[in-house]
Structure 1
Amino acid sequence: MKTAVIVFPGSNCDRDMAVALEQVTGRAPSMVWHRDTDLPDGVDFIALPGGFSYGDYLRSGAMAARSPILQAVTAAAARGVPVLGVCNGFQVLTEAQLLPGALMRNAGLNFICRTVGLTVENDRSLFTSAYQAGETLNIPVAHHDGNFFADSDTLDRIEGEGRVAFRYAETVNGSARNIAGVLNEAGNVLGMMPHPERAIDVAHGGTDGLRLFEAALRVLA
């Protein structure tokens, strides 16, 4: 099982993501620098980690979305390779138009760093099949620009197509319809603001994030 973590200047959750992937697969992921133009041969799973790529200049994720490696990530996603974007990775995926919507400044303009409740909306995707619809998870968030926005037609469409993976169980950052995680049309790209890679060990406060990685990698196996 080959996994890869994309590293941008300003990434700060790449090692957390690498630990989670190695724990589930038993194999350290390839750490792929943003200036690279190719992914490792035969890569099975790609993760875009959290952080502050390019210092969040212009818009969060906007510059990273134009990094050379994103062309390879986009091509891999089109082939069906699972791509997970967490926090800043979610922002990058929206800026690269691999996912709909945009992530704006939090309502209240405060940085939010705490564990929040997430409700599982879709338990049929390759990322969420280890959960049950309606289940509440406890997953940490750490973001300033996590307020998910899309126009009403887009929101209606992604809800009708079952592409909302997770919702906040409470109002956290002003996100439209409390959306915390979104899938692409094919279901192989997931962007979410909460950090499942920070919820994989009891010593860190809980393991509700572990099943996301286990589900995705079990499907691939």
Structure 2
Amino acid sequence: MLTVLLVDDEPLVRAGLRAVLEAQPDIEVVGEAADGAAVIPLVRRLRPDVVAMDVRMPLMDGIEATRTVLRTVPDPPKIIVVTTFENDEYVYGALRAGADGFLLKRARPAEIVHAVRLVAEGDSLLFPAAVRQLAASYGENDGSAEGRAALERAALTEREGDVLRLVARGLSNAEIAARLVVGTETVKSHVSSVLAKLGARDRTQAVIAAYESGFVSPGG
């Protein structure tokens, strides 16, 4: 059974998400919270597989709650930030903090279920065009000094750099393999190496790192 914790200061949003998710035979909503400040004890007690986290809450927002969960909880859950507006500085902040992706509150029920299952399986809920737009709006267009230094320390090979650029464009492993004329397993190996070298939790974090360093241009 896939377990989910809902965190949103709007009771109607929580009720809607619960109804959608619990209509699935393999998903259980194990708890709810109205603010990010309540997340840590609930995560420790309930051990959910996925946290659906609002980004704008009164006491502790989703950015700080995400950062705190990932820093303090052993074997932390996957985190999807739930937002009203995709082009939101809070969303970009949450992705930088380590969230596995984001979901719009107006998403269709099937999209919500798919998102929860996707991140639970270890994949990133990555929307390349949206992340690129967020990076262009809220990142540093020429890359931050810290980001550039981190990428230099990673010492990616030329092929790993090619793979990172294609990941940032949203290509799947199979599409990257076709583009580079290599096997899918080879691409998986390169992606794993890129994540390890960048210290990235998943593909979303790798893409954020690529933008933050200026290695990939949000405008291009």
What is the TM-score of this pair, normalised by structure 2? 0.39
Of Structure 1 and Structure 2, the greater strand share is in: 1
Higher relative contact order (CA 8 A, sep 6+): 1
Structure (1 or 2) with the greater helix fraction: 2
**Larger of the two Rg values belongs to structure:** 2
TM-score, normalised with respect to structure 1: 0.39
